[in-house]
Structure 1
Amino acid sequence: MLPIRKSVIAIPVLATLGACANPTPPTITADQLTDIQNESSRVSALSASAPASIPTSGAVDYSGHVGGEIDGDVTGGFVGDLTVTADFGTNAITGDVTNINLIDEDGNPDQLLGGSLDVTGAHTGADITMTAQGSVTAVDDDGFRGSSDVDFELNGGFVDDTGTADAMYGTITGSADGDFYIGVVDADFYAVSQ
């Protein structure tokens, strides 16, 4: 994950939005963000799993994080918790992204976004393709709460940590659109088996 710019939210004033909303306080600290970034860097450096070594049966639970730099009406960065299950018998991957926090340019968590994202996808050999979709809400500096629909693509693969295919890493592209627009500039995901 790259250094993150200041988080600024500009939500157009809409008649359907009420003023005087307060942002939800962040649920992570700057130190926890640093730990997440360090773990992302560690997992990104692991060796890719050999396609022939990928299990063909059973299911494994993975947990980690998504995060990176964003721009648009919301600028700065984001980080969220990623939890997925890979079913090696069907090749399906399902899960969610929760606890999504905005991050400012100084690396400080700014506010917790409302909502979560559903993760669906599959793997072919060691390659992983997933989508993360859902609605999130944020509060701007003027106290207006808005919501946007998120559509992220997560592409990557299984990597070998202490065993075979016991972690995953990849990049995130996509955007959120609605009351505010968010575009992913540079973001990634990682998860390790539990």
Structure 2
Amino acid sequence: MKMTLFTALAAGLLVAGCVGPTPPTVTDHDNSRALAEAARISRLPQTQINHWPTGTATYNGQIGADLRGDLQGSVLGDMSMVVNFDSGRVGGSIGNLNLIAPSGRPDQALGGNLAISGFEDRGNILAGASGKITGVHSGGSGFASDVNLTLQGGVRDDLRRGDAVFGAVTGQGAGDVNLGFDGVFFGKR
């Protein structure tokens, strides 16, 4: 049987139309390490009044949250939070989000980033993080969800005064998948 150019092109387009998840960008070890670091930072003392940093500080860390709703498991992502202690403004981003299966194994990298915007007052942080995330269902169909999170926490003392942040992450996503988020954020400068 002779394959025509048209048949070969049609088969190629059919294969190209199949969607597969993006491989995870984190490992089991990364997930375990993030859980241990979050627990460690959660036990640090809050920075005392008038001892927090001045100027602008960038805290690099992660968010981790259990999911409920249309997806099961959890998410783990990288966070960069910029706190201006003089103006009281908070900014930054959350990216490199990964879906973690209920078994604890990384499942897939999710597309999209969340923008952080909010306020700092006397070492207390209240911010939102919003954006669109995308991924692939196990059956191969893509999904998107508009995510809105609340980050509420504070500045902590690790090796120096005010060199860490820790707090709660809650929120939801709506779209092709509807999600609830319940977890933590943490970072160090």
User: Structure 1 length normalisation: TM-score?
Assistant: 0.87
**Stretch of structure 1 that moved more, 22-31 or 86-95:** 86-95
Which of 81, 91, 96 is the matching residue for 2:93?
Answer: 96
> 1:116-155, CA deviations, whole angstroms, 9 ceiling, x for partnerless residues?
1001111110110011100000110111101110000000
RMSD between superposed Cα atoms in Å: 1.3
User: Structure 2 length normalisation: TM-score?
Assistant: 0.89
Q: Percent identity?
A: 35
Aligned to 1:83: 80
Establish whether residue 160 from structure 1 lines up as the match of residue 146 from structure 2.
no
Between structures 1 and 2, the one with greater helix share: 2
Distance of 1:128 and 1:149 partners within structure 2: 23
Q: Map 1:103-122 to 2 at 5 A.
A: 103-122=100-119
How far 1:20 moved relative to its partner?
2.5
Determine if contact 2:73/2:104 at 8 Å carries over to the other structure.
Answer: no
5+ residue gaps, structure 1, are: 1-18
> 1:77-104, CA deviations, whole angstroms, 9 ceiling, x for partnerless residues?
0000000111111111110001000001
Distance of 2:103 and 2:143 partners within structure 1: 24
Structure having the higher Rg: 2
How far 1:68 moved relative to its partner?
2.0
Establish whether residue 128 from structure 1 lines up as the match of residue 141 from structure 2.
no
Distance of 2:188 and 2:82 partners within structure 1: 11
Between structures 1 and 2, the one with greater strand share: 1
Aligned to 2:142: 145
Relative contact order, CA 8 A, sep 6+: which one is greater? 1
Aligned to 2:5: none
**2:144 maps to amino acid:** S
SS at match of 2:82: strand
Tell me how many residue pairs correspond in the alignment. 174
Establish whether residue 179 from structure 1 lines up as the match of residue 169 from structure 2.
no
5+ residue gaps, structure 2, are: 1-16
> 1:4-63, CA deviations, whole angstroms, 9 ceiling, x for partnerless residues?
xxxxxxxxxxxxxxx7211000001001111111100000000011122123x3111110
